[in-house]
Every structure is written in C-alpha cells, then in structure tokens.
Amino acid sequence: ASPAPARISALSFALVDKSRNDQLTVPTGYTARAFYRTGDPIGTPTSPAPAAYSNVGTDAASTYTQRAGDCHDGIEYYGLNDAGTAADYTGGNRRGVLAMNHEYIVSQFLHQQGDRDGAPGSAKTATEADREVALHGVSVVEVMRQTGGAFSATGTWDYNVTSTFNRRITALTRIEMSGPARGNPALITKYSPAGTHTRGTLNNCGSGYTFWGTYLTCEENWAGYFTRNTTTDNANRGGSTAKSVISLNRYGVTGDRYRWGTLAAPDAATMATNAVSDTGNDRFDRWNANLLALDRSLDYANAANTFGWVVEIDPYNPNATPKKRTALGRFAHEAAVMTKPAVGQPLAVYMGDDSRGDYIYKFVSQATWSAADVAPTSLSANRMALGDKYLDSGTLYAARFNADGTGTWLPLTITNPAIVAATNYTFSDQADVLINARLAGDAVGATRMDRPEWGAVNPLNNEIYFTLTENNSSGTTGRRGTTAGSGNVIDAANPRYFSDARSATSTTTAATNTGNPFGHIIRIREDANNPASLSFTWDVYLFGAQADADPTRVNLSGLSTANDFARADGLWFSDATNIAWIQTDDSGAFLDQTNCMMLAALPGSVAERRALTAQAPSTAVSGSTPVGAELAATFAGATVTASTLRRFLVGPRDCEITGVADTPDGRTMFVNVQHPGEDTAAANVVAAAGTAGAGDFNSYWPAAERAPGSTANINGPRPRSATVVITKDDGGQIGL
C-alpha cells in the first residue's frame, strides 16, 4: 500500500505556459504519450480485435462495438495484480483496467463523406448512424506495462489489445433500471413492457468511483437525442399543461442531435416482435410517430425517461449487466463523487446538473457503511449487489446556498410539504419525484447555479468541491433569474455578472464576455463532517479569470500568467498526492489566448479561509447589478499563488481536457483529450485533394503536431480523441 503522503505545501514543477499550438505540452521532466485513440481496436480471447482503424471512414460499421469510442471523458483506474487474476486496489501500479466515457462524437471525422447531419440532400446513412451509436457509451479496457504486447513490469504503458476485461457499452447495450423508479409506468417502453430495462447509455460525461470497486458513468446531455415534434407531440400528450409535456420542456427534449431519427425506420415485423432483438434506432425516430397510437406499452413515448441517470458498471466483470441507479435522480448528470465512508454512517454521493441555473444534489444512502464491503479482490465478487445495497435506497437532496455562508440540503421526497404543495408540477409518487428531479428542485427552492460540472472530494478533509463552469447567458435567457424572464440575478454563491469580463487587451467580442464567462469553483463542508447532515458551510475556492483582468471585480483570486484559466469543468483529487487537478472546457471565453488545460492545485480548506478572512461570504454581493469593489473584500484570502495553483498541461487545438485518474502510487496518470480539431470547417474534411481547404484541419493531434506557432496546412491525418498516459522521467509522483 502507498503510504498517505504528508500534505505538500508548494507546487514546484516546471510550469507550462498558455499555448495555442497544436500540441500537448507537459512540464519538463515529464513524458506524455497518447494511446487508445478513437477507433482503436479491442478484442477478447473469444472475439478477436478488428483491423486497425482507417481513420478515413471506411471501416465496416459492424466492427465499431470493438473499437474505442469517440470524445473520451470521465475515467477511473481499477488495479490488477501482475498476473491479471485479481483486483488490486493499492498495489496495482503496473496493470489495471480503465473505465472511461465516450461522451459524444465529432461526426465529420468519422465518415468518408464527412458530417451529413441534416444537410439537405445528403442524409446520413444507416451505416454512418450505426457507427455513431457504437462510438457512444463506455470503454472498459485493460492497460498494463508491456513489451511486445506481453505484461512486463518495466515495460511501456499501453492498452492490452486482447483481454478478458475489454468491453464496450454503447447506446444499444442492454441496461437494467434499478431503484425506486424501476417498473414505474413512466419507464415502460416497447423494449421493456415491465419498465425494468432500457437500451444503452448516452452522452456519458463525468464519472465516479465507488468504494466497492465499481464505475459510475453519468448521462448528461441525453435530451438532445430524441426526436420530438413539439406541436404534434404536445397535442397527443394533452397540451402544454400535461405532466409529460411539462417534464419534457423542463428537460429540454427537442432533439435528434445526430439525425439518427431520420433513418432506419423499423419494419412492421420488427415493431411487432416487441423483443430484445428490436433494432435500436427506432426509439429515436419512431418515438413521436408511435404516440399516434397512444398505446404507451407499445411505443417509445417514455424512452427519454430511461436516460438522465447515473449508471453503475463493474469494470472487473464483463458479464455484469450495468444498472441505472434511479434513486440518484434524473437530470443532466455531470459526475458522481462520494466522501470517504465511515463505518456505521450512510454514504453520500454528490452530483451536479450541468445546465445554466440548475442545481447541486446529494444522495444519502439508507444503508450504513460496512468495512466488509470495501473493494473485494475476487474478480467474481458480486459488486453490483453492493451497488444495490448502497445506491438503490436512500434520500435525494438539492442544495440551497445561503448568503451568510451556510447552506441547506432540501429533501426531494414525496412527503416534503414543498413538493406536496408544488404548483409547477403535481407529483404522484417518489418515482415521479426522482424521474423529474429538476421539477422537484424547483419546488423546494434550490439555488440556481452557474452550470455545476464535476464534483470532487478533498481526501485531507472530506470537503466537497464543484466546478461552476460558466454562465454566459445574458438578458432573459438561461433560467438565471429568480423568476422566469427576470434575467441574470447574482447571489452569494454565483456572485459575478459582467458585460466586460475580459481585460482591456481582450480581442473577444462582448457576447462571449457576458455573465460569468470564466466560471468559479465552490466548496462545501458538511456540518460535523456528517454525510447525512442537512446543513453545511461553503465558500468560493477559486474564480477563473484572465491574469490582467480587473483585480477588484474580476480577477478575484489573483491569478497570474502561471495559472490563469477559463471554465473549469473536470475536477479530481489524487488520493496518492492530495493534489487537486482542474481541467478546462473552454468554448470561447479564453480561446484567443490558450487551448484548454489542466492545472494542479493545493486548495486549503473552508476553515482556513474563514480563519484568514474572519468573514463569511457577504450579503453585500446579492443584488441585480454587476458587483463592484465590495466583492474583492468579500473574497479576500481567496487569492492563490504559483505555488498553490500551477498550470501543468496544455492540450492541442479545439480540444477539451477532461477526465483524469492515476495508479495507487500516484506515479502514472491517465488524462483524456476530447475532440481535438472539433471546430474544423466541415468542407475541409471532404474537399477533394488540391482544392481549397482540402486537408486543412484545426488539429492533427495525436498523429502529428504543428510546429509551435506554425499555421501551415500540413495535410495530416484526421484528429482523434485519445487517452494520454503521463509519467515522470525520474519515476516520481505526478505533480510533486
């Protein structure tokens, strides 16, 4: 076992500058190497891996369930012993299993004909849709130090092409519905007349790790995948006041993001079989049409209700059926993280709903923690049964952040008087509350946040962190007002609103500078360190900003060129080093200065901040106008230095850095690079050789990198998402 390190007091690695080059940069003394790229083949002893990925869109669709998915995101590491025959949670430093999400796809790089989403006269083909469906979901893939494809304790990290652990879970995989909503009429579909199963998982964003050794994958922007003609659908459902219409509107189900619904209409015989073999795409395109029959047991009217959940997977058992844990509520799940369990106490799972003005949640288990349940080492242990024990029964809460630095967990229960009395929606039972958790959060008066993304727990003190990535909505959009249409109302927990968040040197337009475009990170300390506490204290740990922005209103954390950033999204603490790792997903606020990045942080604690500033977050920041100098006073003590926040990695162009995990000894780190080159002009991908723009992509990573500063068209291969393995050249722990 790795000894728990003493808390380090300063970061000292060679910091990495902001960069717009098409390359991935880590500090001097570190090595980073991309592997397990989009389309890379995986196999098992009984199902050999397909051929290498062409990366020009010529691979047969049938091979894609044995290829790495696209847009890698949340990731967790599960150790194995050197022989690969037992789970090893503390010594598995040379061999293990990675579970990772494939959030979405960059269609234009996947097909010979590029991206044909909805382009008139160039409809997507069934082959293209089949590839795209398979490139969603989750990978479980064995990784190990190896030489010549065989395990070697001193070899090079790579994935194991042929492994009993290798597995793809896609948008078509059979998944069980578990917990209070299982069997509820709102989950009944043609595929599962009993409401107990669904097919697939979609838009898997952040992740989580359970103390019994399973993987949690979180369904985020699933709402965009379901076809819905709101005029006819609303009418069929009984109009705008019908419960299902209120729900669909609150969750934004308007969909058909990749035009899967425009093709592969099932034949009558297929529809009649009502069987597991029922083809997959029909739930997207037939969903609306089937409403005409108004026979909910034979259609897909409820298909969207089977998405929006936290899904549990046993990475050690490829035969275990994944389960959607409905007790944790349905929303645009970003990630799911737990505080350290204490024997005899319940578990708490913390979760963000990534939408402008949506909520932070926690689930408290009914079962109390037993030390006997920690991380079984037998590969055949029934870890999913432990998930049943801890994640199927309990209470869901939404957070209210008070202006005095305290907070309240508001129970989302059918007996809560605020839910009984709800005027926005009439809840019928607890399953209805969980399926429509957002509406329940509305009813109890939870605090609307600036897009809650990943949570993370500081292993030193059990404090819970959440990135609030941004809120650039202006005027009356974005649900930021206290009442519909009231515009952006700031509050103590979401205190910045600007029309000029950039410095005088800014070259970006005002539109991307409006609101809280650089985001912030908030943290929570449960009263008495009790996971079941109904009250907490909180503060703002960090504000994103450009270093030369106004220090009294904007750059409140005193960021310098060593650590300025925009839009924190990924967030994770290493148990080995206690370093917090912050990853960015910037789609505009800071992209004129730098590609997305990962920073290392030593964040201190809420208690230290309170001692330093002798004040709670101030009521002075509440109000409806952009705040002034009082904000700097309120957050005095929140400043960081290059020793406590330091840029570690900058990715290639158009990428997001998201998802990070390490080996138990902290000496090997895995980081996901998502969608390099995503904003490449679509025409350039399919332009004939020699014509304007042909081969001119924004990124060629990871196969090739542009020379620093060069804008030359190097006609390289199509870019791919990939996992990056990082080691320190002296063999030391990452970040120390």
- Least separation in angstroms between residue 721's CB and ligand FEO is 13
Q: What is the side-by-side strand order in the sheet with 394-401?
A: 333-338, 346-353, 360-368, 394-401, 406-411, 535-543, 520-526, 464-468, 452-457
Nearest by Cα to 281 from 423, 441, 440, 172:
172
Alpha carbon 254 to chain centroid, angstroms: 21
Instruction: Give me the 43-62 binding string for ligand FEO, x by CB under 6 A, dash otherwise.
Output: --------------------
Q: Which is nearer to ligand FEO, 110 or 351 (CB)?
A: 351
- Least separation in angstroms between residue 569's CB and ligand FEO is 6
What is the spatial distance between Cα 282 and Cα 286, in angstroms, rounded to a whole number?
5
- Least separation in angstroms between residue 217's CB and ligand FEO is 12
Q: Which is nearer to ligand FEO, 217 or 727 (CB)?
A: 217
- Least separation in angstroms between residue 453's CB and ligand FEO is 5
- Least separation in angstroms between residue 724's CB and Ca ion is 16
Q: Are 210 and 99 in contact (CB under 8 A)?
A: no
Q: Are 368 and 345 in contact (CB under 8 A)?
A: yes
Residue selected from 219, 358, 656, 662 as contacting Ca ion according to rule CB under 5 A: 656
Does the footprint of ligand FEO cover residue 103 (CB under 6 A)?
yes
Q: Which does 627 bind (CB under 5 to 8 A by kind): Ca ion, ligand FEO, none?
A: none
Q: Which does 656 bind (CB under 5 to 8 A by kind): ligand FEO, Ca ion, none?
A: Ca ion
With CB under 6 A, what is the number of residues at the site for ligand FEO? 7
- Least separation in angstroms between residue 674's CB and Ca ion is 5
Q: Which does 705 bind (CB under 5 to 8 A by kind): ligand FEO, Ca ion, none?
A: none
- Least separation in angstroms between residue 466's CB and ligand FEO is 12
Q: Which is nearer to Ca ion, 218 or 431 (CB)?
A: 218
Q: Which is nearer to ligand FEO, 95 or 324 (CB)?
A: 324
Residue selected from 205, 301, 337, 602 as contacting ligand FEO according to rule CB under 6 A: 205
Q: Which is nearer to Ca ion, 24 or 205 (CB)?
A: 205
- Least separation in angstroms between residue 9's CB and ligand FEO is 32
Chain positions 207 to 226 lying near ligand FEO, rule: CB under 6 A, are: 220
8-state DSSP, 224? G
Q: Which is nearer to ligand FEO, 354 or 678 (CB)?
A: 354
- Least separation in angstroms between residue 205's CB and ligand FEO is 3
What residue type is 676 in one-letter code? Answer: P
What is the spatial distance between Cα 520 and Cα 542, in angstroms, rounded to a whole number?
6
Chain positions 705 to 734 lying near Ca ion, rule: CB under 5 A, are: none
What is the spatial distance between Cα 354 and Cα 358, in angstroms, rounded to a whole number?
7
Which secondary structure element, helix H or strand E, spans residue 430, and what is its range? helix 430-435
Kindly give, in sequence order, each residue whose CB lies less than 8 Å from that of residue 179, ignoring residues fewer than 6 positions away.
324, 325, 326, 327, 328, 391, 392, 393, 434
Does the footprint of ligand FEO cover residue 70 (CB under 6 A)?
no
Q: Which is nearer to Ca ion, 130 or 220 (CB)?
A: 220
Q: Which is nearer to Ca ion, 435 or 722 (CB)?
A: 722
Does the footprint of ligand FEO cover residue 354 (CB under 6 A)?
yes
What is the spatial distance between Cα 329 and Cα 362, in angstroms, rounded to a whole number?
9
What is the spatial distance between Cα 31 and Cα 156, in angstroms, rounded to a whole number?
12
- Least separation in angstroms between residue 680's CB and Ca ion is 15
Chain positions 361 to 390 lying near ligand FEO, rule: CB under 6 A, are: none
Q: Are 320 and 314 in contact (CB under 8 A)?
A: yes
At residue 444, φ and ψ (nearest 5 deg) are -90, -5
Q: Which does 220 bind (CB under 5 to 8 A by kind): ligand FEO, Ca ion, none?
A: ligand FEO
Q: Which is nearer to ligand FEO, 442 or 453 (CB)?
A: 453
Q: Which is nearer to ligand FEO, 37 or 333 (CB)?
A: 333
Length in residues, the chain: 736
Q: Measure Cα distances from 51 to 41, 102, 694 in Å.
A: 7, 21, 27
Instruction: Give me the 191-210 binding string for Ca ion, x by CB under 5 A, dash otherwise.
Output: --------------x-----
- Least separation in angstroms between residue 220's CB and ligand FEO is 5
What is the spatial distance between Cα 600 and Cα 528, in angstroms, rounded to a whole number?
28
What is the spatial distance between Cα 657 and Cα 672, in angstroms, rounded to a whole number?
6
SS (H, E, C) 462-527: CCEEEEECCECCCCCCCCCCCCCCCCCCEECCECCCECCCCCCCCCCCHHHHCEECCCEEEEEEEH
Q: Which is nearer to ligand FEO, 672 or 727 (CB)?
A: 672
- Least separation in angstroms between residue 189's CB and Ca ion is 28
- Least separation in angstroms between residue 313's CB and ligand FEO is 18
Chain positions 573 to 592 lying near Ca ion, rule: CB under 5 A, are: 585
Residue selected from 334, 491, 586, 654 as contacting ligand FEO according to rule CB under 6 A: 334
At residue 415, φ and ψ (nearest 5 deg) are -95, -5
What is the spatial distance between Cα 403 and Cα 409, in angstroms, rounded to a whole number?
15
Q: Are 327 and 363 in contact (CB under 8 A)?
A: yes
Q: Which is nearer to Ca ion, 550 or 569 (CB)?
A: 569
At residue 295, φ and ψ (nearest 5 deg) are -115, 90
Does the footprint of ligand FEO cover residue 312 (CB under 6 A)?
no
- Nearest-CB residue for Ca ion: 585
Q: Which is nearer to Ca ion, 578 or 674 (CB)?
A: 674
Strand, helix or coil at 612? helix
- Least separation in angstroms between residue 658's CB and ligand FEO is 7
Does the footprint of Ca ion cover residue 128 (CB under 5 A)?
no
Instruction: Give me the 660-689 binding string for ligand FEO, x by CB under 6 A, dash otherwise.
Output: ------------------------------
DSSP string, 50-108: -PPP-SSS-S-GGGGGGB--SSEEEEEEEEB-TTSSSB-TTT-SSEEEEEEEE----GG
Instruction: Give me the 436-475 binding string for ligand FEO, x by CB under 6 A, dash otherwise.
Output: -----------------x----------------------
- Least separation in angstroms between residue 202's CB and ligand FEO is 12
Residue selected from 40, 569, 586, 665 as contacting Ca ion according to rule CB under 5 A: 569
Residue 182 in tokens: 């299982």
Q: Which does 678 bind (CB under 5 to 8 A by kind): Ca ion, ligand FEO, none?
A: none
Q: Which is nearer to Ca ion, 281 or 494 (CB)?
A: 494
Q: Are 108 and 718 in contact (CB under 8 A)?
A: no
- Least separation in angstroms between residue 332's CB and Ca ion is 10
Q: Which does 373 bind (CB under 5 to 8 A by kind): Ca ion, ligand FEO, none?
A: none
At residue 102, φ and ψ (nearest 5 deg) are -120, 95
- Least separation in angstroms between residue 520's CB and ligand FEO is 15
Strand, helix or coil at 709? coil
SS (H, E, C) 246-268: HHHHHHCCCCCCCCHHHCCCCCH
At residue 223, φ and ψ (nearest 5 deg) are -60, -20
Instruction: Give me the 560-599 binding string for ligand FEO, x by CB under 6 A, dash otherwise.
Output: ---------x------------------------------
What is the spatial distance between Cα 161 and Cα 605, in angstroms, rounded to a whole number?
43
Q: Are 236 and 256 in contact (CB under 8 A)?
A: no
What is the spatial distance between Cα 71 and Cα 105, in angstroms, rounded to a whole number?
6
Residues that bind Ca ion (CB under 5 A): 205, 569, 585, 656
Residues that bind ligand FEO (CB under 6 A): 103, 205, 220, 334, 354, 453, 569
